[in-house]
């Protein structure tokens, strides 16, 4: 086998842990073009959250030779489902929001994604709908925001072109590193997944209400701030067990007091 083929095989294997998630895409052609963009850069894991008018002949036509990526795409009912086993989530958006996330340019984000996937983390790169971009609640599930620097008077790229730029950077970083450095960083305990975090947030909300810290009638902003804070921590599985144990201990104390 030629050296480049061997290299490409190892590149594809380690990149398979990076998934592209398209949220509520309205133009099926963009889905096909995104699949094509991914395949050219060695990525195969495509997740579609509530796509409009999909499957569609237009998507298949624009996928061109990447119909294998397209036909293997997983269609999900919610972003939470698409991210369930992911421990690192990047939201790709042209706009910073009211509650800021760490903001990265594609090259820096790609470097982090490749390092994380080499450590065995499942990484998600999430793109928003064409018309409105990613919602605040979608961004609440993300650990970082990736923004493609562009003309400040016109920052909005076509969805599949934004996908192409991000996956290009992932591939270039991985390819360059594969030539010179194939070491993997050790990580003693894997990070909490999006599902772990979701269960933790539900538990946290329950306890905040039980302790009257949170008014269930207007929970929104406090909970969002808490999510941002815990997402910044990047807890691993052991730390997540401690946090859940902490909440359970509070609930036990409340139960005992209520029965005295
Ligand atoms: N009108 C929307 C743009 C949506 S474009 C808005 O203002 O957010 C569709 C998707 O392409 C976006 O959700 C984002 O994921 C990606 N995208 C387009 N331009 C981008 C940019 N300059 N930086 C990062 N992502 C971009």
Q: Model confidence over 153-166: pLDDT tens digits?
A: 999 999 999 999 99
- Exposed e or buried b per residue across 160-171, where buried means at least 16 C-beta atoms within 10 angstroms of its C-beta: bebbbbbbbbbb
> In terms of domains, do 199 and 142 share one?
no
Residue 186 covered by a domain: no
CA atoms within 13 A on the CB side of 243: 20
Atom of ligand 1 nearest to the CA of 126: 15
Q: Model confidence over 69-108: pLDDT tens digits?
A: 999 999 999 999 999 999 999 999 998 777 788 999 999 9
> In terms of domains, do 114 and 14 share one?
yes
The CA angle 117-120-121, to the nearest 5 degrees, is 65
How many Å apart are CA 219 and CA 209, to the nearest integer?
Answer: 9
> In terms of domains, do 55 and 101 share one?
yes
- Take residue 161 and report the two structure tokens written for it: 């072109």
CB 135 within 8 A of CB 128: yes
3-state secondary structure of 122: coil
How many domains is the chain partitioned into structurally? 2
Length of the chain: 260
CA of 228 relative to ligand 1 center, distance in Å: 21
CA of 145 relative to ligand 1 center, distance in Å: 11
Question: How does residue 14 score in pLDDT terms, banded at 50, 70 and 90?
Answer: low
Bridge pairing between strands 74-76 and 18-23: unpaired
> In terms of domains, do 153 and 241 share one?
no
Residue 184 covered by a domain: no
CA of 156 relative to ligand 1 center, distance in Å: 5
Among 124, 156, 158, say which to mutate for ligand 1: greatest number of ligand atoms within 8 Å of CB: 156
CB 19 within 8 A of CB 85: no
Q: Model confidence over 109-141: pLDDT tens digits?
A: 999 999 999 999 999 999 999 999 999 999 999
Q: What is the dihedral of CA 189, 237, 14, 185, to 10 degrees?
A: -30
> In terms of domains, do 148 and 222 share one?
no
Q: Model confidence over 184-204: pLDDT tens digits?
A: 344 567 899 999 999 999 999
Q: What is the dihedral of CA 25, 224, 204, 116, to 10 degrees?
A: 60
How many Å apart are CA 131 and CA 126, to the nearest integer?
Answer: 15
- Take residue 38 and report the two structure tokens written for it: 């991914």
Among 29, 51, 103, 128, say which to mutate for ligand 1: greatest number of ligand atoms within 8 Å of CB: 128
Residue 140 covered by a domain: yes
The binding-site residues of ligand 1, defined as CB within 6 angstroms of any ligand atom, are 92-95, 127-128, 130, 132-134, 147-148, 150, 155-157, 159, 162
Q: Give the Å distances, CA to CA, from 24 to 28, 46, 86, 93.
A: 10, 13, 19, 14
């Amino acid at each position: 086998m030629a050296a480049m083929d061997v290299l490409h095989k190892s590149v594809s294997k380690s990149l398979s842990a990076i998934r592209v998630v398209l949220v509520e895409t309205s133009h099926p052609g963009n889905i096909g073009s995104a699949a094509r963009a991914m395949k050219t850069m060695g990525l195969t894991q495509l997740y579609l959250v509530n796509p409009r008018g999909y499957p569609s002949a237009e998507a298949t036509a624009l996928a061109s030779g990447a119909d294998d990526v397209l036909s293997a795409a997983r269609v999900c009912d919610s972003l939470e489902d698409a991210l369930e086993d992911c421990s690192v989530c990047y939201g790709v958006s042209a706009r910073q929001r009211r509650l800021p996330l760490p903001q990265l340019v594609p090259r820096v984000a790609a470097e982090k994604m490749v390092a994380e996937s080499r450590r065995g983390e499942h990484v998600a790169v999430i793109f928003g709908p064409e018309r409105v971009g990613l919602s605040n609640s979608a961004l609440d599930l993300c650990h970082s925001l990736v923004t493609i620097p562009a003309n400040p008077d016109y920052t909005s790229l076509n969805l599949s072109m934004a996908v192409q730029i991000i996956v290009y950077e992932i591939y270039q970083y991985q390819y360059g590193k594969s030539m010179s450095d194939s070491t993997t960083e050790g990580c003693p305990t894997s990070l909490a997944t999006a599902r772990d975090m979701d269960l933790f947030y539900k538990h946290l909300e329950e306890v905040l209400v039980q302790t009257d810290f949170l008014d269930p009638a207007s929970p929104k902003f406090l909970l969002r701030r808490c999510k941002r804070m815990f997402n910044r921590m990047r807890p691993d599985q052991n730390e997540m067990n401690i946090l859940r144990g902490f909440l359970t201990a509070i609930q036990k104390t409340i139960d005992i007091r209520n029965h005295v």
